[in-house]
Amino acid sequence: MIGLVDANNFYVSCERVFNPALEGKPVGVMSNNDGCVIARSEEMKAMEIAMGTPAYQLEGLRRRGAIHLLSSNYELYGDMSARLAQLLRDACPEVAPYSIDEMFIYLDGFDDAQCQAIGAALRRRIRRHLGLPVCVGLAPTHTLAKLANHVAKKQPHYEGVCLLHGESLTTQVVLRQLAVSEVWGVGRRLAERLAVSGIRTAWDLRECDPKQLRKRFSVVLARTALELRGTPCLEMNAVEQPRQRIMTSRSFGQSTGVKEELHAALRRHAQRSAEKLRQQGSLARAVMLFLNTNRHRKDQPQLSPSAMIPLAAPTDDTRLILEAVREGLDQMYRPGYTFMKAGVMLLDLVDAQQYQLSLLQPTTKAHPQLMKTVDAINQKMGQGTLRFGMTDADAPWQLRCAHRSRRYTTCWEELMEAGTHPGAIADARARREKQRLAGGKRLAKTRANGFTDHGNEYQQR
């Protein structure tokens, strides 16, 4: 049985862990440079504020206090994601992170009741130990697990855990209600083509003859149909279509702990990811890196560090992504461990066509012609013919993040405060403010005195 653990409104949930005042209120998280909304709480969804709404359109609501808008705090989200993955690794035999907030778990050899019990226990545990609400979808295949998770999220009576079989009445009911575009790997354009052939729901797709699908559409779609019947035939990285994130990861031929070698591997993966990104015409907003030690070597110290680097503006420029890789490796590298696997994930993708460069955004050094040429040469002459050397380190990562919450888990100066009695935090804040004002006044006074002294001197002379 395969399980998909998916955090509900992950970015917002991370913020709520450390700021209880946000609980139950409409909260949105904005993209880098506070451009548009990229994550919404249920309350904000209920207000019909769409994903991608430009932040300036919501400024009025924010000022009135009707909604809370936060700048994205990628350090916090990256850390919470790493904690989630580690918690699952401690509890399950095998875990495969699929994106920042989705992790597949593999539960072989358990029966249905046991799987359901594990799912419910994990959900409780994650909520209690990390403060994050999650839902768990269980099914024999990745595609069905994803759908099961969708159902667990949307239908409250499942209480966050839904198990779907390949053959069962529940599965049939669920698939009949689900538009085909909701199925993993079926994009908008493909859904339109399928609709022409009369395939509208997930059930329609499941009932199609895989051979026909293979002939008329693609082998991936044929496999998806089989997966919906409960026959596992998709490798985790095989799903091509509407990608919210791009991942390139590989195990090393020989494990290594040398920083330069790890850097080289990450750079290679980053270049490949950037190529995939340009192929599908997207821009990435953040880069996530991870390293894994060999978990079968119980004799070696284990570590699975990850790092999350936000990009100043959505980009597909390999050079900027490589800079983020260098920064990320510096953050997560620890000597004394031999790593087995490295990966690069590009996150929070936007459509390059739809993304318009605003005047307020800093202009990047993006050079579409150069990137196109590089890709063309690499396609013709083989992957990696043309590669990027070390890039300059002068680009400052000056992000606009006026409403960023504190980096509660990654910065000593920005820890969460706990009051020893009601009102203690407010008192301390008022005291600090008073001190600041008093200090400012005193400074102003001495400065004024200085000036008058000067004046007197001048007059005396």
Identity of the residue, 131 or 257, whose beta carbon is nearer to other proteins in the bound complex: 131
Q: Does 420 bind other proteins (CB under 8 A)?
A: yes
Strand ranges of the sheet holding 37-40, from the earlier edge strand across to the other edge: 37-40, 27-30, 68-71
Q: Does 424 bind other proteins (CB under 8 A)?
A: yes
Q: Does 129 bind other proteins (CB under 8 A)?
A: yes
Q: Does 421 bind other proteins (CB under 8 A)?
A: yes
DSSP character for 33? Answer: G
Report how far Cα 3 is from the mean position of its chain's Cα atoms. 19
Strand ranges of the sheet holding 161-163, from the earlier edge strand across to the other edge: 94-97, 102-106, 2-7, 134-139, 161-163
Q: Which of 219, 238, 425, 443 binds other proteins (CB under 8 A)?
A: 425
Q: Which of 145, 133, 135, 134 is nearest to 107 (CA)?
A: 145
Give the nearest distance from C-beta 306 to other proteins in angstroms. 13
Binding track over 372-411 against other proteins, x by CB under 8 A: ------------------------------------xx--
Single out the segment in contact with other proteins by CB under 8 A; choices: 126-134, 167-175, 285-293, 315-323.
Answer: 126-134
Q: Which two tokens stand for residue 229?
A: 């019947």
The CA–CA distances, whole Å, from 2 to 110, 167, 387 equal 11, 16, 38
Report the alpha-carbon distance of residue 186 to residue 33 in Å, rounded: 31
Taking a C-beta distance cutoff of 8 angstroms, is the pair 221, 190 a contact?
Answer: yes
Identity of the residue, 141 or 409, whose beta carbon is nearer to other proteins in the bound complex: 409
Single out the segment in contact with other proteins by CB under 8 A; choices: 39-47, 103-111, 341-349, 416-424.
Answer: 416-424
Q: Which of 65, 254, 418, 457 binds other proteins (CB under 8 A)?
A: 418
3-state secondary structure of 73: coil
DSSP character for 51? Answer: T
Identity of the residue, 17 or 220, whose beta carbon is nearer to other proteins in the bound complex: 17
- For 290, counting Cβ atoms within 10 Å of its Cβ (0-12 exposed, 13-18 middle, 19+ buried), the class is buried
Identity of the residue, 16 or 272, whose beta carbon is nearer to other proteins in the bound complex: 16
Give the nearest distance from C-beta 83 to other proteins in angstroms. 5
Give the nearest distance from C-beta 100 to other proteins in angstroms. 16
Site for other proteins in 74-113 (CB under 8 A): 83, 86-87, 90
Site for other proteins in 298-357 (CB under 8 A): none
Q: Which of 50, 258, 264, 416 binds other proteins (CB under 8 A)?
A: 416
Single out the segment in contact with other proteins by CB under 8 A; choices: 62-70, 213-221, 383-391, 414-422.
Answer: 414-422
Q: Which of 419, 439, 440, 455 binds other proteins (CB under 8 A)?
A: 419
Locus of tokens 């920042």: 100
Q: Which of 52, 54, 131, 187 binds other proteins (CB under 8 A)?
A: 131
Q: Which two tokens stand for residue 450?
A: 């200085």
Region class of 57: left (phi > 0), else alpha (psi between -120 and 50), else beta: alpha
Single out the segment in contact with other proteins by CB under 8 A; choices: 18-26, 147-155, 245-253, 446-454.
Answer: 18-26
Report the alpha-carbon distance of residue 315 to residue 168 in Å, rounded: 45
CA angle 265–76–12, rounded 5-degree value: 120
Size of the site for other proteins (CB under 8 A): 27
Backbone angles phi and psi of 103, in degrees to 5: -135, 130
Q: Which two tokens stand for residue 282?
A: 């997207």
Q: Which residues make up the interface to other proteins (CB under 8 A)?
A: 20-21, 23, 83, 86-87, 90, 128-131, 408-409, 412, 415-425, 427-428
